[in-house]
A and B are shown apart, each in its own frame.
Chain A
Amino acid sequence: MNEKFHIFSELISEEQLQKIKKGFKFHFSAKDNLCTIDFQTRAGSKILDGYRPPFDATPVKRLRESGGLLIGKTNMDEFGFGSFCMNSSYGVPLNPFDPERSCGGSSGGAAAAVSLINEHVALAVSTGGSISCPACFCGVIGITPTYGRVSRYGLIDYANSLDKVGLICRSASDLEKYLPIIMGPDSHDPTSCCQPVYKPKKPRIKRMCIPSAALEGIDNDIESALEVAIEIIREQLAIDVEEVDMPSLKFALPAYYVLATSEASTNLARYSGMRFGVISDATNEHFNKFFSEIRSELFGKEAKRRILLGTHCRRVGFRDRYYLKALAVRQMIRKEFKKLFCEYDLVMTPTMPFKAPRFSEIEKMKPLEVYKADFLTIPPNLVGLPHISMPCGYPDGIPAGFQLIAPFWEEERLIHFAKLWEEVFSYKFPEGIS
């Protein structure tokens, strides 16, 4: 299976799997940017080749302690940089619905694994939509909890103020089962320490809204799938869906790229060929040359693009214009969401503006066009709101998805909605393995 789809960057052998499976309650995979002691952790980058962390990431540890067997590390865009999962140094995963199409990024391997393997749950990570996007393209459920809900200890950072560990799975009951395991405070991650207790309950969901800006520039087949879905929601679930204005939505994308790349450029500074991963032996060179050479050689194109963009945004003179401005935009969008939640229980948008694209189509896209593809998943990520992507239709046999956004710490609304949705809509999965 992995030879065909390149889902895993490292995987337990079939033999071993059969041998040890019995002692475990369930199996799971972890995106390759989550540290694990028993597998290499490379975050899709050549620069971390051979790196074996001395500790497990907290979410991995918690799933293991609950009886889970980690079967492998899923393929991803290098350091999480990408929307189509084509930026990995360790293979490009292929979409289980159509191997000529992308799985979506950056957690492409994770979504494909869930789509193909029965009863599998995948740990994934989202910075700007890296859970929603691949879940949508691969026809599975992806939940991104509130920022701070799940400890990031052991997560190889892309942009710390945006990164969130979440789950990709097949059903609302899996969400109910596994999400509480990975949630909760962890003293190793201060941002997880001030969260309210998660109380599973049955929230009332009566009113939802769609910002009209979210429907601009999306493909016709996605729009029609969404229209059908909304009709079902209105009629069968008796939930009111209204269109609303949300003017700040269009500023989310530029603000995101400024903040995410600024933070990323500092996070990636540590990869210098000195301490872990690939160690350079050019020890008699001046350190500036030593660092530059190994970074030029081993970072991928997209990583270099984002380091440069981020470093530029942080520089004196540009810092005020870009970095500090982006922080202000984030506050503005947060306020607008807050206002919407006074009236509506959930905010809805399509997840991606188009179906999983073919690799041949992606090659023709310019970097800026690729960035724009994430304009719907970025707003909730930028402000740290919990959100979920679920399949809502199959135009031409390829999944389309919608995304629901809840107020801070209200993950149970998303899970509850997923349950309701499953009563009126049945998911399709490609033929996989169990």
Chain B
Amino acid sequence: MKIGLEIHFQLPTLTKLFCSCPTKASEPNESICPTCLGFPGSRPSLNKKAFTLALMIAKRLQCKIPDVTWFSRKTYFYPDLPKNFQITQYESPLGIDGQFVNNGKIIHIQRVHLEEDPGKIKRVGKPSEEISLIDYNRSGIPLVEIVTAPDISSPKEARDFIAVLLDDIRSLVGISGEDEQSVRVDANISVAEERVEVKNILGLKNLENALEFEYARQSKLIKAGKKVLRETRRYDEERKVTLPAREKEFEEDYGYILEPDLGVFNIKELAETLVLCETPLMRAERISREFELPFEKAKIIGKSPVLASIFQEAVAKFSKQEVLTLLFEQIIPNWSSFEKRITDDAVGKLGEIIEAILSGALPSADGRRMLVSYLRGTEFMQGGTDFDREKIVEQVDAIIRKRPEVLRDYAENKRAANFIVGQLMKIYRGKIPSEEIAKIVFEEMDKRASQ
């Protein structure tokens, strides 16, 4: 089974690809102008931000970047397409022959290009009186299209690949996780020889479902000795099936010509000077390579640039194994709590603590406790000296008085004491290390149980 994907993804710009209309709108047809409506005499001016972002993506996907690029007109008649041609890139994509490594497997990228989105058709009303409304807010929204070679071999893999790819691109071009953007995919799938194209699938779940349906459908045909037709299909989300696409113009010739209003862009210099920020995935790949770490481990470290730099600094001075132990046992389990309060000062202080532990300046057990408290943002008190042991013993007595069965159970099963530890931890809210509390509780319980 071979799957090739054409992934359409919206770029995070404030304005549209060829005009200055905002990309966000609350009411239908609110963000429109003569250009994105294709009025006579209006013409496109390229949004440089969109262009640069798309170029970054092409570069990230290790594509070859040509010296010059231009746009083309793809002509077809459809009500959502204001000019009845779409400005896209046909002969001259921003990047070709790239690759993306997902889970150790290379997926080849055939091309990356930039294009404008058409409008959106909404059908309303009862079936017999249905009317079509068109919202042109989407017209001219910048899309990047990524086309893969048919290197993917299962629906699950396709879904996983896009999820990882999009995650990576989002962090590259600066889209936060909350700013969830939809992805539209055209999938080419062949179980045997013949290739079927499923157009316009919205979202990853639908993609996986559509591909699974196609796999089953094509396999069934082949088993029955029938031929798979080379055709274009669409995915029906409600019925979870693919159906032959009604519109013939998808198969038609689009009569591409150059877009004369935009001219030719010399991009060699821009492409060369463009420096990509390191994405978590790129970081993981580098860390795994440079420090000879298993990729899964590198991925965890690479997720945060701060964590990665802490790791790198520590590894430069101390033994890799010790650093990794500290990282995976103390730091990473508490990282999310620290990340919320991150500042340059905090990172500096953290570095000092780590250095103190690894250099032996701090006794290991205390040092590690201090580290955890620091990460969690709780006050650290060194064991035994700074708290009132007598008071804790009184509190243990009080709990046993209220719940005498705990002591009885303790004789059978020492874990019964955890109830008291829990109660005390609530009282001290991290002011005393839990190990200290547990130590006292178990000592006291042992004393009482043996009486």
Asked if A53 contacts B40 (CB within 8 A), the reply is yes
Is A220's beta carbon under 8 Å from chain B? no
Interface of A: prevailing SS: loop
8 A Cβ contacts from A116-155 to B: 152-155
Is B262's beta carbon under 8 Å from chain A? yes
Asked if B43 contacts A275 (CB within 8 A), the reply is no
Is A54's beta carbon under 8 Å from chain B? yes
Asked if A266 contacts B73 (CB within 8 A), the reply is yes
**Nearest chain A CB to B258 CB, angstrom units:** 8
29 contacts between A and B (CB under 8 A): A35-B40, A51-B40, A53-B34, A153-B43, A154-B42, A155-B41, A156-B41, A159-B260, A161-B260, A187-B45, A188-B45, A189-B261, A190-B262, A191-B260, A191-B261, A263-B260, A265-B75, A266-B75, A269-B85, A270-B82, A270-B84, A272-B77, A276-B39, A276-B40, A287-B78, A311-B255, A315-B253, A316-B255, A319-B256
On chain A, the residues within 8 Å of B45 by CB distance are: 187-190
How many Å lie between the Cα of A57 and that of B253 in the bound state?
34
How many Å lie between the Cα of A32 and that of B251 in the bound state?
38
8 A Cβ contacts from A216-253 to B: none
On chain A, the residues within 8 Å of B262 by CB distance are: 190
Contact surface of B with A, Cβ cutoff 8 Å: 34, 37-46, 73, 75, 77-79, 82-85, 131, 253, 255-258, 260-263
How many Å lie between the Cα of A270 and that of B36 in the bound state?
12
On chain B, the residues within 8 Å of A41 by CB distance are: 40-41
How many Å lie between the Cα of A154 and that of B75 in the bound state?
22
Asked if B255 contacts A48 (CB within 8 A), the reply is no
On chain A, the residues within 8 Å of B257 by CB distance are: 262-263, 266, 314, 323
Asked if A275 contacts B37 (CB within 8 A), the reply is yes
Chain A positions 171 through 198: 1 when the CB is less than 8 Å from some CB of chain B, otherwise 0: 0000000000000000111110000000
Given contacts A190-B45, A190-B46, A269-B75, contact A160 B40 (CB under 8 A): no
How many Å lie between the Cα of A269 and that of B262 in the bound state?
19
On chain B, the residues within 8 Å of A53 by CB distance are: 34, 39-41
**Nearest chain B CB to A423 CB, angstrom units:** 39
For B40, give its contact among A43, A187, A265, A283 (CB under 8 Å): A43
On chain A, the residues within 8 Å of B78 by CB distance are: 287
Most buried by A among B39, B43, B257: B257
For B34, give its contact among A54, A152, A291 (CB under 8 Å): A54
8 A Cβ contacts from A313-342 to B: 314-316, 319, 323, 327
Residue of A nearest to B18 (CB): A190
Asked if A314 contacts B79 (CB within 8 A), the reply is no
Chain A positions 37 through 61: 1 when the CB is less than 8 Å from some CB of chain B, otherwise 0: 0000101000010010111010000
Asked if A275 contacts B41 (CB within 8 A), the reply is no
On chain A, the residues within 8 Å of B42 by CB distance are: 55, 153-154
**Nearest chain A CB to B54 CB, angstrom units:** 17
Asked if A48 contacts B43 (CB within 8 A), the reply is no
Asked if B83 contacts A269 (CB within 8 A), the reply is yes
For A275, give its contact among B77, B82, B131 (CB under 8 Å): B82
For A291, give its contact among B40, B77, B255 (CB under 8 Å): B77
On chain B, the residues within 8 Å of A270 by CB distance are: 38, 40, 82-85
8 A Cβ contacts from A275-320 to B: 275-276, 283, 287-288, 291, 311, 314-316, 319
Is A78's beta carbon under 8 Å from chain B? no
On chain B, the residues within 8 Å of A51 by CB distance are: 40
**Nearest chain B CB to A81 CB, angstrom units:** 15
Asked if B41 contacts A288 (CB within 8 A), the reply is no
On chain A, the residues within 8 Å of B73 by CB distance are: 266
**Nearest chain B CB to A382 CB, angstrom units:** 13
Chain A positions 393 through 421: 1 when the CB is less than 8 Å from some CB of chain B, otherwise 0: 00000000000000000000000000000
On chain B, the residues within 8 Å of A43 by CB distance are: 40
**Nearest chain B CB to A271 CB, angstrom units:** 8
Most buried by B among A55, A57, A190, A191: A190
How many Å lie between the Cα of A332 and that of B132 in the bound state?
49
Asked if B34 contacts A55 (CB within 8 A), the reply is yes
How many Å lie between the Cα of A319 and that of B451 in the bound state?
100
**Nearest chain B CB to A287 CB, angstrom units:** 5
**Nearest chain B CB to A33 CB, angstrom units:** 8
Most buried by B among A160, A276, A315: A160
